Amino acid sequence: TRRCAHLHLASYCVDSTTSWSCPTCDSGVTLTAVIEDSGVLDGGRALVGYDANHESLFVAFRGSSNIKNWIDNINAFFTSPYPDATVKVEGGFYSEYSDLAKEGLATALAEAKSTYGSSNVVITGHSSGGACATLLAYDIYRGADDYASLGLSIRSVTTFGSPRVGNYEFAQASAALPSVRVTHWYDIVPHVPMEWLGYHHVESEVWYNSANTGYTLCSDSASGEDDSCSNSCSPFSCTSVDDHLNYLGVAMGGGSNC
């Protein structure tokens, strides 16, 4: 989990395959592609590469660099991009993910697989990048056109401070993914978009305490959250941006953290 936290912080700091240098740019990692949606201010970014320690490919998605503006701009409108029209996801998250996919995400994965001979893939992301990580994992799992021929096996999906991505049907359809959804104390982002709008989290939550020194393995499922974990602060106390920007003692968000 900590190595995934290091990878997604690196996604805030690294913008070139020739510059693997940052506080969390771990040894044993080779960066093979940086995918960016350059046409959008504060657009998405994904790092693709190979982690020799885990003998696995990886994709690490960056989150927004301006959390408050990003929360204000969540549109909370569902889109139905899948063959099963009952499976719906938040339109803004899907747009961010699909824009990155159009920039060559599948091609980058295919090239990394060819170079390193591994079909295993670790997927991670922070904030809106956590939503993108879940959306990519679901596309690989369901055999979406861009990924069906790659023969990838998802080793893990680890998100940090991810928002709710889709509806109940999406959470159910994603239940077979090897997911870990890490939350930190009173982090505001896991509580948007709101449940009363029809949004559900994917499983399985691991809730860290305020000091990041201990955690609870939560009893959530695709049917609902564990109200003794992160959701225990809802609806009035889940307001911390500081908790969102610090996971496992790793400061998120780029800037001086790089």
How far, in Å, CA of 32 to CA of 226, rounded?
38
Q: Which two tokens stand for residue 224?
A: 């609902």
Q: Long-range contacts: 23-31, Cβ < 8 Å, 24+?
A: 23/257, 23/258, 24/250, 26/53, 28/52, 28/53, 29/53, 29/58, 30/116
Q: Distance of CA 113 to CAs 57, 118, 215, 222, Å?
A: 7, 5, 34, 31
Active site residue 127: yes
Question: Pick the catalytic residue: 187, 220, 226, 243?
Answer: 187
Tell me which DSSP letter residue 230 carries: G
Q: Render the burial of 232-253: b for 16+ CB within 10 Å, e for the rest.
A: ebeeeebebeebbbbbbebbbb
Question: Pick the catalytic residue: 11, 118, 127, 174?
Answer: 127
Q: Specify the amino acid at residue 160.
A: F
Active site residue 191: no
Question: Pick the catalytic residue: 6, 200, 201, 244?
Answer: 244
Active site residue 184: no
Catalytic machinery residues: 127, 187, 244
